[in-house]
Amino acid sequence: MNQTETEKETRAEPRQTPRFTSVRFDDVDAEKAYAAASRLTSEIEKVIVGKHREVLLLITAMLAGGHVLIEDVPGVGKTTLAAALAKAAGLDFRRAQFTPDVTASDITGFNIYNRREENFEFTPGLVMTNILLADEINRASPKTQSALLEAMEEGRVTVDGKTYILPDPFMVIATQNPSGFVGTYPLPEAQLDRFSMKLSMGYPTPDEEMRIVEERTAADPLDAVSPVAGAKLISFLRALTTDVRIDRSLYKYLVLLVSATREHRSVSLGASPRASLALKRLSQAYAFMHGRNYVVPEDISDIFRAAIGHRIILKQEAQLGGVTCAAVLEDVLKSVPVPFKGER
C-alpha cells in the first residue's frame, strides 16, 4: 500500500463511529453521563489554568454540536485549549494554520489523477477529522475562509461535484487575533453566524500566571492530559443532550431575547432564527454540564452573551458614540422578563 492510500485510510477512520440519533435519559444512567462530561473538564484544566468558564463553554458547544470562535491576543492559550479538548475527548485532531497562501482545496480536499489506475482519486483535506483547529482564521483569504461554510453547517464537503461526509463528531474551533492586527481579514457575517459561540480567553491573573510558570515543566503541556472519552462516547453525549427538557415558557424566553436584538435602537443587524436554534441547543448542553436533564432560565441567560454577541452588528453612529455589543446584550437581558416557574 502506498503512502497516499495509507494517509487516506487514516483520515477516513473516524467516519466509522456509529451515529446516535436518539437517546433518552430514561434509558441511561444519567449520573455516569454527567460524570463523563465532568472528567473532560478536569483533564483540560490540568493545562488551562484559571479559565473554568471558558473550558465549560467550549465543552458545552461540543456537546451541542456547535463550532466555536476564540478571539484574543497571541499567547493566551487559544491553541492549547483546543488541543487539550481534542486530547481529553480522545478525538482525531488536525490544525490548519490559516495564512494567505492556504487554499480552499487544502481545507476541503482535492482530486488527483492516478496514472496507474487511469482515474482521479480524492485526497482528503484537513476537514476530514473530528476537531479542526482553524488557527488564525482571519489571516486567510476570504475564499479560503468560505471553504469552511458547508462543512460547518452540514457536516460535509463537495469537491468537483461529489459530496464527502465528514467524521462524526465534527467540530471547528477557530482562533483569531483582534481585527486591528496587521494582515487580518474580517470574517463575513455568513460565516460568523455558523459559530455557535464566540469566546475570549483574557490574560491570567498574576497568581494564575505564577502557577503556570511554576508548573509548566514539560516541553509539551499536553503531556499532562489523558484521553477520558472517545468519538463514540462524545457522539452518545451529544445525542443525550437533545433529550434535556425545555419548558414552553423558556422557548418563548429565548426567542424573545433573540428577537429583541433586532429591535434594539443601536443595532443595524440583529441575530437570526439560526441564533435561536443555537441558543436552544447550547442551553440544553449547558444544563447537562450542570448535572440536570432540564433547562432553567439561568442556563439561557448565562450562555446568551457568548452565543449572540458575534451575530449582531451595531449601527455606525452607535459605534462612534461608544456603544458596545456587550452593553447591547445587557440591555436585552434586562428588557426581557424572566419567566416564573409554571408560566406558559
Q: What is the pLDDT of residue 219?
A: 72
Between 272 and 182, the higher pLDDT residue: 272
Taking the alpha carbons of 232, 44, 198, 183 in that order, is the dihedral positive or negative?
A: negative
Q: What is the mean pLDDT of residues 66-70?
A: 96
d(CA 316, CA 204): 33
d(CA 163, CA 150): 11
pLDDT digit string, tens, across residues 32-48: 999 999 999 999 999 99
Residue 214 neighbours by CB distance under 10 Å: 8
Q: How confident is the model at residue 260 (pLDDT cuts 50, 70, 90)?
A: very high
pLDDT digit string, tens, across residues 125-138: 999 999 999 998 98
Least confident of 5-9, 173-177, 265-269, 306-310: 5-9
pLDDT digit string, tens, across residues 183-234: 567 788 888 899 999 999 999 999 999 988 888 776 788 999 999 999 999 9
Q: What is the pLDDT of residue 81?
A: 95
Rg (CA), the chain: 21
Contact 344, 249 (CB under 8 A): yes
Q: How confident is the model at residue 342 (pLDDT cuts 50, 70, 90)?
A: low
The DSSP bridge pattern shows strands 156-159 and 162-165 to be: antiparallel
Between 81 and 5, the higher pLDDT residue: 81
Candidates 298, 274, 15; CA nearest to 129 is 15
Q: How confident is the model at residue 8 (pLDDT cuts 50, 70, 90)?
A: very low
Q: How confident is the model at residue 237 (pLDDT cuts 50, 70, 90)?
A: very high
Quote the strand ranges of 36-170, DSSP E.
68-71, 93-97, 109-114, 119-124, 131-135, 156-159, 162-165
Q: What is the pLDDT of residue 3?
A: 39
Distance between terminal CA atoms of the chain?
63
d(CA 286, CA 293): 10
Q: What is the pLDDT of residue 181?
A: 58
Candidates 279, 336, 238; CA nearest to 37 is 238
Q: What is the pLDDT of residue 60?
A: 98
Contact 246, 291 (CB under 8 A): no
> What is the grid cell recorded at 22?
436518539
Q: What's the mean pLDDT when you consider all of the chain?
A: 88
Contact 197, 309 (CB under 8 A): no
Total residues found in the chain within this entry: 344
Helix (H) or strand (E) segment spanning residue 313: strand 313-314
Residue 10 neighbours by CB distance under 10 Å: 12
Contact 286, 307 (CB under 8 A): no
Between 1 and 133, the higher pLDDT residue: 133
Q: Where are the domains of the chain?
A: 244-344
Q: What is the pLDDT of residue 290?
A: 96
- DSSP per-residue string spanning 154-217: HSEEEETTEEEEPPSS-EEEEEE--TTSTT--PPPHHHHTT-SEEE---PPPHHHHHHHHHH--
Cis peptide before 169 (omega within 30 of 0): yes
Q: Is it the case that residue 16 has pLDDT exceeding 80?
A: no
Q: How confident is the model at residue 7 (pLDDT cuts 50, 70, 90)?
A: very low
Question: 248-264 as b/e, with b when 16 or more CB fall inside 10 Å?
Answer: eebeebbbebbbbbeeb
Q: Is it the case that residue 9 has pLDDT exceeding 80?
A: no
The DSSP bridge pattern shows strands 313-314 and 171-176 to be: unpaired
CATH 1.10.8.80 fits 244-344, yes or no: yes
Q: Is it the case that residue 13 has pLDDT exceeding 70?
A: no
Contact 39, 257 (CB under 8 A): no
Q: What is the pLDDT of residue 209?
A: 92
Q: How confident is the model at residue 119 (pLDDT cuts 50, 70, 90)?
A: confident
Q: What is the mean pLDDT of residues 227-254?
A: 96
- DSSP per-residue string spanning 1-44: --HHHHHHHHHHGGGGSPPP----GGGS-HHHHHHHHHHHHHHH
